[in-house]
Amino acid sequence: MTENYPDYMFEEAQRRELATKALDKLYDENGAALQQLAEIERKEFYRFFVVEYYATGDGISYWLKICRNYPPYNSEDLDLECFKNFINDSYHSQYIEEPTEEEFMSKYSNLIPAHIVKMVEHKNQPELIWETHFHVNYS
């Protein structure tokens, strides 16, 4: 039955089998590190924070922040704490949301300078921290 197949097909099957064994060995030796790397790859490059506050007769306030998505330091979320300090008001801090990049950019990109939008799109600014506060009064 095997005489109907060309030799290169057997060679390719053997090459694939060796590659699979090498990958299995690599995973056995470095499984935890590979899983950690996969988890890092799933995380967004930047984090986005928003407070959008409406007050009847007082207009609307926006607090926006974009920063690199670094892990907590000593189990403390420093980026969130810095954003709370930027807001500087415990009442408004209770309304902090953390949208995805897609949600944030689709809703607030018109409030962000074009060069900041480009930095977010390129994902090449590891030290990017951008915060702003807008208040619009309709009266």
Same domain membership, residue 106 and residue 65 = yes
Residue 20 and residue 56 in one domain: no
Together in a domain, 131 and 85: yes
Range of the domain at 67: 46-136
The whole-model pTM stands at 0.68
Give yes or no: residues 117 and 93 share one domain: yes
96 shares a domain with 63: yes
Residues 38 and 52 in one domain: no
27 and 57 belong to one structural domain = no
31-63, pLDDT tens digit by residue? 777 677 666 666 788 999 999 998 777 889 999
61-95 pLDDT, tens digit each: 999 999 998 888 888 999 999 999 999 988 999 99
- Name the CA dihedral angle for 16, 21, 24, 30, rounded to a multiple of 10 degrees: -110
Both 77 and 130 in a single domain?
yes
Alpha carbons 124 and 20: distance in angstroms, whole number: 34
Number of domains in the chain: 2
